[in-house]
Every structure is written in C-alpha cells, then in structure tokens.
Amino acid sequence: MRYEFYYWAGIQGRGEFARLALEEAGAEYVDVARQAGGEAALMRLLDGAEAGHLPFAPPFLKAGELIIAQTANILLYLGAHHGLAPTDEADRLWAHQLQLTIADFVDEAHDTHHPIASSLYYEDQRSEARARTADFLKSRAPKYLGYFERVPERNPAGPAHLVGAELTYPDLSLFQMLAGLRYAFPRAMARLEPKHPRVVALHDRVAARPRIAAYLASDRRIPFNEHGIFRHYPELDTAA
C-alpha cells in the first residue's frame, strides 16, 4: 500500500516522528503537502470536506480508506504493521507509554518559545519564553533525559534499545527528540549530554541505520528552522 502522509510542508514538527517511522520501515509514501496542490488537499481533510474520521490537526496518515491522526497513534499503527513495535501486549504497551512520554517532552519543548499562545508570535511572548525556557532547561529537560537514560539501563535485553533487543518506534522518536534539543539549545545540551551517555548512544545508533542515514542526507529531511517545535533562539539557550 502506498500511504499518503499529511503534514505542514515547511517544518519537521510533530510530523517528523511519523516520517522517521515511514522511512525506517521502507514504506512507500507521498508527503502530500510537499507536492503541488498538497496543502489544499490537507486543508480539505482537516475541514471535514471528505468523509471519514476527522483529524483535529496534522499530522495524519491515509492508509487506504483509513485516516489516522495523532502522532503517537500513527506510530501505534505503523509499529504494528511494519515490525517497529513489539508483538506481545506488555512490551507493546511499554513502547507506547515511552512514546507518549516523549510526546509530553515534545509539548514542553514547544511551549518554551510559545508559553502564552500558539496564535501569537514568539516576539510577543519573549520575556515569558525566557522564564519558561529557564525552567525547562533547569528542571524539565534534565528530568526527562534522566528518565530516558534509565530506561535502556534497566532494559533486560541490554541498553542498545529502549524496549527489548530490537529497534522500536520510540527509539526513532528519542533520536528526533535529542536532535531537536541539540538544534534548539546547543549550549545547554553541551552541558547535559555527558550526563546521559545511553541516550546519546541510542541517538547515534539510530542515525547510523542505513535507511535513516539515507533519509537524513536526502532533501526529504526538512532542515530545522524557526517555524517548527525546536527553534534556536540564542537568547533562550542558557548554559545554566
């Protein structure tokens, strides 16, 4: 099956977590909004102009007649259909739990630059962004990274992956999380990374996988920029 993937054309954003799974799976897909006329097609589905399950927001994935939205839900589907999730229930739930925790971490990273309203410009909430980011870098990012350092440490199958002995979709998402944090907060991450060697090793292992490496080197990978979730505003990136 050839999937249709829908997400904003100019950013990695939440869509990138699904793109990485599609790429690692070697799935056939069209990144619809990046084609001519694609944004209009995205808007039609979002407006409910077509039949089927209505998404609240991109990303969404069209798999035949099925429209699946919410990043973690797309990964639940792709994981099950492309060998990127455990097959037994306990580990399947565990992988999903980790994904949902990464989703929370992503939300908090987003709100560093938009603590008051997504509808306002960053420039209109700059001082609040400074306060929120200070707390994020001092408390929240270390708490999440410390958690994700312990997960491979406690994995009975060894620290190469988050769940079991094989790659699963939260590994891909943790790679993206670290890549985004490095882009947004290079100074803070230079301080935090040495304390989280297993997270860094996991990131590097994902980056080196042949399909992921090919994807990252291609123009299908949209560069990080100041429109997405992870934005580099030097004034927010304090080392403390």
Q: Which residues bind a copy of itself (CB under 8 A)?
A: 48, 53-56, 66, 68-70, 72-73, 76-77, 90, 93-94, 96-97, 100-101, 104, 107, 111, 115-117, 119-120, 128, 131-132, 135, 139, 144, 147, 150-151, 154
Q: What is the dihedral of CA 58, 60, 62, 66, to 10 degrees?
A: -120
Q: In this complex, which beta carbon is closest to a copy of itself, that of residue 136 or of residue 212?
A: 136
Rg, Å, the chain Cα set: 18
Nearest approach, Cβ of 22 to a copy of itself (angstroms)? Answer: 16
Please, what is the minimum distance in Å from the beta carbon of residue 236 to a copy of itself?
A: 13
Nearest distance, CB of residue 101 and a copy of itself, angstroms: 5
Secondary structure of residue 175 in the 3-state scheme = helix
Provide the minimum distance between the beta carbon of 148 and a copy of itself in the complex, in angstroms, as a whole number.
9
For a copy of itself, the closer CB: 130 or 221: 130
For a copy of itself, the closer of residues 116 and 201 by Cβ is 116
Give ∠ CA 168-73-161 in degrees, rounded to 5. 15
Shortest distance in whole angstroms from residue 91 CB to a copy of itself: 9
Comparing CB distances to a copy of itself, the nearer of 73 and 238 is: 73
Strand order in the sheet with 29-31: 29-31, 3-6, 60-63, 66-69
Whichever of 105 and 212 has its CB closer to a copy of itself, that residue is: 105
| Cis geometry, peptide bond prior to residue 59 (ω within 30 degrees of 0) | yes
Burial-class residue 62 by CB neighbours within 10 Å (0-12, 13-18, 19+). Answer: buried
Which residues, 6+ apart, have CB-to-CB distance to 57 below 8 Å? 46, 69
